[in-house]
Structure 1
């Protein structure tokens, strides 16, 4: 096994180990004792993989809910508490949110 393959294999083992620790609810000391690894090695690998992760592109978690606040249609007047982004017309309210990557969310109330 060459050095790159060995390094990749160790990375995978430690990623798995760190994930198991996060799900275990145990302290680092207790988890390391159960896994037969030193706490120093645990901290070194956690820092190493965190630094490597900072340089890689990982998809962000999608927002499950975005509170836009209350929007009232009061004859074209936007309440002071509401942001000026909604446009009002006699037909209703249109809200457009640019989500990035060319995706625009449009909410219309008629």
Structure 2
């Protein structure tokens, strides 16, 4: 009967494993078998790593600017000041704010 030794990996170790897997031409199952790790552990750590390291935008893509919504408040002495604000949140979700 074969015994297996459980290897404890740090976050940095998992980051290195995930990076190697992304560069590899092997399937996930074949890569994990070669590394001696279960595919379930790999997928769990890859999900955790991606959640803490969201993909960076395309090169040259500008970061969204901050808009202080306090600037949109209507001063007491301004009659008829209005504004429209539309935020595209992705996946077809759009948030529209209007002050008439």
> Which of the pair has the greater relative contact order for Cα pairs under 8 Å at 6+ separation?
2
TM-score (norm 1): 0.43
TM-score (norm 2): 0.47
